[in-house]
Amino acid sequence: MRKTDLHELRKDPLLGRWIAVLNPPKSPAEYVLPLQGTNEDTCILCSGRESETPSEIMAVPRVSAGGARGWWTRVIPNFVPIFHIEGELGRIGEGMYDRMNSIGANEIIIESPEHVTSPEDLGTDQMIRVILTYRERMADLEKDSRLRYTLIYKNSGRNAGAVYSHPISHLASTPVIPKRVKEELDGAKEYFAYKERCIFCDIFREELSLGKRVILETKNFLAFCPYASKFPFESWIIPKRHNCAFQDIGAGEIEDLALVLSTVLKKLRTLFKGLAFNYFIHSAPNRIPRKNHWHTLGEDFHWHLEIMPRLLTTSGFEWGSGFYVLPTSPEDASKYLREV
């Protein structure tokens, strides 16, 4: 890609959030695209068609009984990346505005060699491999001092923004801390400054002792519906061990997380057939570039995974006010999820 083709990041001077402007721009006709790779014949993410994808970043290898080599999970660059790894940040002011080049990383994590089978349906071992892949990519990208944040996220179902029907998740590494993450970091820091305790540790202790919003509890994790959820059946998975960065997860925790994540996703899919959902991991920003920037980060932030079922469309009220309406309370939602 030529340097002139880099997308542009612009900062909203009022709210401080960054947005990406794509280059070349899309025409109105290009906004309606069919779901790609809807069957195995046309899907290049399936095993056996590796030569048709961009070059592999990493893979969890699979050696079958006969000695044939394949993969369990595979990571490739995004076909239409918003962020590019080559180039300079080129931060500049444009009058009162700020912009920079969209330096970063955009990767596709192929969660399963099979087209129709999600990792949670392939058993805990496959979910473990997916989580190991997440951890390896996060740890690798943290070494790049230009990058400030890595978000791992999943879009499942067209209503949740999925473009491919093969089971995949995504990774985006950005040169700025996204606004939504910064709000959490600031909120956690403020709580810590006041109480000298991690807010997330306090939340899971509170939820455990009350029990009425708990979906399930294991040795290392708690899954629950947050007290002030934004969406009905919103579910969080939080590690019991205080730790700000997901990539510092231990081997026992990975096994446990695989089990909890698989179980919660299966429960949601049992309640809602064909459910569209997103999930994402909120972890600490890269600690390498500015070790002293977030002074209490290691103590005040606590990584977690948020699952957002897409059961409602966002109305003008939510967009205009940032005020969310919950038709099912988190207490009722967690009861349905516990019992299914």
Residues that bind Zn ion (CB under 5 A): 43, 45-46, 115, 166, 198, 200-201, 242, 282, 302
- 93 has which bridge partners? 98
Give backbone dihedrals phi and psi of 329, rounded to 5 degrees, phi first: -70, 155
Shortest Å, Cβ 260 to Zn ion: 16
Shortest Å, Cβ 181 to Zn ion: 7
Distance (Å) of CA 86 to CA 102, 104, 176 = 10, 8, 16
For residues 166 and 267, which CB has a smaller minimum distance to Zn ion in the complex?
Answer: 166
For residues 42 and 270, which CB has a smaller minimum distance to Zn ion in the complex?
Answer: 42
Q: Residue 22 class from Cβ within 10 Å (0-12 exposed, 13-18 middle, 19+ buried)? A: exposed
At 158, list the tokens.
């067209």
Shortest Å, Cβ 107 to Zn ion: 17
> How many angstroms separate the CA atoms of 292 and 283, rounded?
17
For residues 30 and 41, which CB has a smaller minimum distance to Zn ion in the complex?
Answer: 41
> How many angstroms separate the CA atoms of 148 and 178, rounded?
9
For residues 200 and 246, which CB has a smaller minimum distance to Zn ion in the complex?
Answer: 200
For residues 102 and 173, which CB has a smaller minimum distance to Zn ion in the complex?
Answer: 173
Shortest Å, Cβ 87 to Zn ion: 30
Shortest Å, Cβ 297 to Zn ion: 11
> How many angstroms separate the CA atoms of 115 and 38, rounded?
9
Shortest Å, Cβ 138 to Zn ion: 15
- Compute the CA torsion angle 149, 239, 109, 72 (nearest 10 deg): 150
For residues 147 and 188, which CB has a smaller minimum distance to Zn ion in the complex?
Answer: 188
For residues 83 and 280, which CB has a smaller minimum distance to Zn ion in the complex?
Answer: 280
Shortest Å, Cβ 269 to Zn ion: 19
- Compute the CA torsion angle 306, 74, 289, 14 (nearest 10 deg): -50
Closest CA to 259 of 225, 221, 226, 233: 221
Q: Residue 211 class from Cβ within 10 Å (0-12 exposed, 13-18 middle, 19+ buried)? A: exposed
Shortest Å, Cβ 44 to Zn ion: 8
Which amino acid, one-letter code, is at 64?
A: S
For residues 296 and 329, which CB has a smaller minimum distance to Zn ion in the complex?
Answer: 296
At 1, list the tokens.
């890609």
